[in-house]
Amino acid sequence: MSEVDPDRITGTITIAVLPQDNGQYVCEISPSLSDSPRENLQYYGQTKEHAIAIALEQLADEYRRMAEERQNIDWDTVERSEAGNPIAKHYHVILHYERIAEEESKFEAMLNTIMGNTVVENAKITVIEIDPNMPIIQPDSSDRA
C-alpha cells in the first residue's frame, strides 16, 4: 500500500468559457484539487481571454492568501544571531492592484493609475517567506509597454 503525501495536491482545474448574448463572456472555473478552497465559480470578461485572466487571478489570490496564512509569521518579529545581529530573510512580495479607469486612452488609464502612491496604498500585498535559493520568475517589465 502506498503512503499518501499530505503535502501533495492532486486534481484538475477545469475552465469553461461561455459566450453571453451581450457579446461578453463568462469563465466558469471548477477546481477539483484535493485542497480546493471553493467549488465552481463564474467570472465575467469582455473577451474570452479577459474572463480567463480574471478567473485565474481570483484562484491565484486565494492560494496566495492561504500560503501567507499558513506560514503564521509575526509581522514585526526580527530573528537575531547569537551575536545579536538581525538575520536577513528572503520574501516573495506580491502586489496586486486593480481598478476600473474611465480615461481617454489606454495610455491615460495606465498613467493615471501609476501616478502617486495610490497603487501601493490600495493594493493587496502578500508577503511569503522563501528559501534564498528558490527560483522565482520575475515578470518582464518590457511586456507591459
Sign of CA dihedral 138, 28, 43, 68: negative
C-alpha 44/C-alpha 24 separation (Å) is: 7
To the question of domain 1-72 being in CATH 3.30.160, the answer is yes
pLDDT score recorded for residue 136: 74
The pair phi, psi for residue 46, each rounded to 5°, is: -70, -35
Spatial CB neighbours of 96, under 8 Å, sequence gap ≥ 6: 57, 61, 123, 124, 125, 126
pLDDT tens-digit profile, the chain (145 residues): 456 676 777 778 889 999 999 999 999 998 777 665 567 789 999 999 999 999 999 888 988 988 899 898 888 889 999 999 999 999 988 888 888 889 999 999 989 888 866 787 888 889 999 988 888 777 665 555 4
Smallest Cα–Cα separation from 73: which of 141, 111, 129?
A: 129
Residue ranges of domains in the chain: 1-72, 76-137
- Coil, helix or strand for 139? coil
C-alpha 17/C-alpha 52 separation (Å) is: 7
- Coil, helix or strand for 91? strand
pLDDT score recorded for residue 28: 92
| Other beta carbons within 10 Å of 142 | 6
